[in-house]
Amino acid sequence: MALWGGRFSTGPNDAVAKLSRSVHFDWRLAPYDVRVNIAHVAGLRRAGVLSELDAAEITRALKELSQEIASGEFSYIDSDEDVHSAIERGLVAKLGEIGGAFRAGRSRNDLVVTDFKLYLIDHLLEVAHETIELANTIDATATQYIDLVAPGFTHLQHAQPILFSHELAKHSHALLRDVDRMKDWLSRNSISPLGSGALAGSALVPNPEIIAAELAFQGVTRNSIDAVSDRDFVAEALFIFAMLGVHLSRIGEEFTIWNTQEFGWVTLDDAFSTGSSIMPQKKNPDIAELARGKSGRFIGNLTTLLVTLKGLPFAYNRDLQEDKEPIFDSVEELLTLLPALRGMVATARFNGEKISESVLGGHALATEIADFLVRGGTPFAQAHEISGRAVALAEGKGVEVHQLTAAEFAGIDPRLSTELQEVLTASAAIESRISINGTSTKSVTAQLGQLEAKIRGYSSWIASERKRFSGMMGA
C-alpha cells in the first residue's frame, strides 16, 4: 500500500517500485513499528488530535495486528513499499478510513529511526548475552587448567612460560570489553527521535517526552534535523559488532593452529567439526575457520554504512534506507556464530601433555637469567647482554639455555652463580610474575575471580535491561 500519491498522475514504474522497496528486509521492524504506533496514538489522544473512541479503536486494532504479526497470520505483500506501509494497510483493512488517522504528526523519517533503535536495543542485548556466555565458557575452561604450564608466544615464537589459564582467559577479557561497549552504546543511544516529524518537529504531538517514556527510551533528541539524519547509533553498533567479530576471528585462528597435527594441543568434538567430501580421514575445524572468515563481512558492514553516510546532505535522504541490511546481517550472523563457537570451546579436549611438553623450548628461560642478574645488582642492559651470550653458547652446543652446566654459566660471567639454577624452571619463571596482570598462579587466580565477578555484573545488567525493555514492548 502506498502512503503517498495525491500529487502524482500515475503510480511508480515497476522498476522503481522494485528499487525503492524495503519491506522484504525491514519487516523485521514490524513488532517495534506497531509498538511505536501504539505510543504515538496515545500521544495524539492526549493532544486532542484523536478522540478517546478513535484512539481506543486504533490501539485495539494495532494490538490485534501485533499478535497476527507474531503468529505469521499477517505479513507483507508484494505491493507494500516498506514495513510502515504494510502495517497501515493492515490497519485500514481492519478499520477503514480511520485506519489512516494514526500517522498524523509524525513522519516515516522519525518513525523508522525509532523502530530501528528499538530493534537494536533488543538485539544488542541478545548479542551481549551470547558474548557473555562465550566469555563465561572460556573462563570456566581457564579455571580448569590453572595447573597447566604452556609456552607463551610472541611473533609465534616461544617467548616465556605462562599458565595455560592465562592464555585462555585473555579472550574473555577482550569479549567483556565488547560487552562494555554495548553497555556504553545503550547509555548513549537510548533516546527517542519521535516528535521530529519529517525534519522540522511535530505541530500535532507537543509532548514526545511522554511517548519516549512509554517506549524503552530514556530521553528525547533535541534537534529534529539531526534526529532524522543521525545514524551514529548504527555505525557505533556496527563497529562494536566488527570489533567483536575480530575478537572471534582471533579465537578461531588460535584454535585452528592448536588443532593442527603439528601442535596437537586440542581435539575438537565431532559435533563441532566437519568432514571432507573427498578425503575420508579429514576432520576439519570449520567453526573456528568461519569465526575467522565472518569477520570480513562484519568489517564490511561497518564500511558500507560509513560510506553511505559520508557527505550525505541533511536531513533525510533515501540513501538512509541502506542502513538496515548491514545491521540485520551482522546481528543474525553473530547470533548464529556465537553459540556455535561457545559449543566448540565447551566441548574441546585439551591435550595437557602436549601443551606443556615444549614449555622450555626456544630458550624460554633466557629472561630469567637477565632478571636474576638484575636482582643481584647488574644493570639490565648488561644483564641482557650476558644472558644473550648464554643463549649463543647453548645454541652452539645444541641445547636449551637452562641446560647449560654451572661451569658453563660461570665461564660466561662469574655473576651467573649456582643459585641461578633455582630460578631456571618453568614454574619458578611463572610464579615470579606476581604483578596484578601477570601469569603467576596467585595473579591468575585473582584475575579469574575478577572475570567471574564482571561476568555476573554484566549478566545482571542484561537481565534488568531486558526486563525493562520487554515491559515496554508489552510482552
**Which residue ranges make up the site for ligand ARG (CB under 6 A)?**
22, 26, 82, 108-109, 112, 316, 318, 320-321
d(Cα 347, Cα 372) in Å, to the nearest integer? 41
Rounded to 10 deg, the angle between the 108-144 and 30-46 helix axes is: 130
d(Cα 39, Cα 19) in Å, to the nearest integer? 31
CB of 199 to ligand ARG, least distance (A): 10
Nearer to ligand ARG, 151 or 197 (CB): 197
For residue 150, the cross-strand partners are 162
Nearer to ligand ARG, 112 or 134 (CB): 112
Nearer to ligand ARG, 82 or 465 (CB): 82
CB of 472 to ligand ARG, least distance (A): 22
Q: Which three cell numbers stand for residue 420?
A: 641461578
Nearer to ligand ARG, 86 or 162 (CB): 86
Nearer to ligand ARG, 82 or 413 (CB): 82
CB of 319 to ligand ARG, least distance (A): 9
Q: Is the peptide bond before 315 cis (omega within 30 degrees of 0)?
A: yes
CB of 277 to ligand ARG, least distance (A): 42
d(Cα 305, Cα 312) in Å, to the nearest integer? 11
Pairing of strands 266-267, 157-163: unpaired
98 contacts: CB under 8 Å, gap ≥ 6: 54, 57, 58
- Residue numbers annotated as active site: 155, 276
d(Cα 408, Cα 414) in Å, to the nearest integer? 10
Nearer to ligand ARG, 24 or 456 (CB): 24
CB of 81 to ligand ARG, least distance (A): 7
For 310-379, where are the alpha helices, taking DSSP H only?
324-347, 352-357, 366-375
Measured over the CA atoms of residue 104, residue 109, residue 115 and residue 117, the dihedral's sign is negative
Q: Which three cell numbers stand for residue 118?
A: 528499538
CB of 322 to ligand ARG, least distance (A): 8
Burial class (CB in 10 A: 0-12, 13-18, 19+), 326: buried
Nearer to ligand ARG, 116 or 255 (CB): 116
For residue 220, the cross-strand partners are 192
d(Cα 115, Cα 112) in Å, to the nearest integer? 5
CB of 332 to ligand ARG, least distance (A): 18
Q: Which three cell numbers stand for residue 466?
A: 531486558
d(Cα 34, Cα 456) in Å, to the nearest integer? 34
384 contacts: CB under 8 Å, gap ≥ 6: 370
Say which DSSP state 29 is in.
Answer: G
d(Cα 303, Cα 318) in Å, to the nearest integer? 18
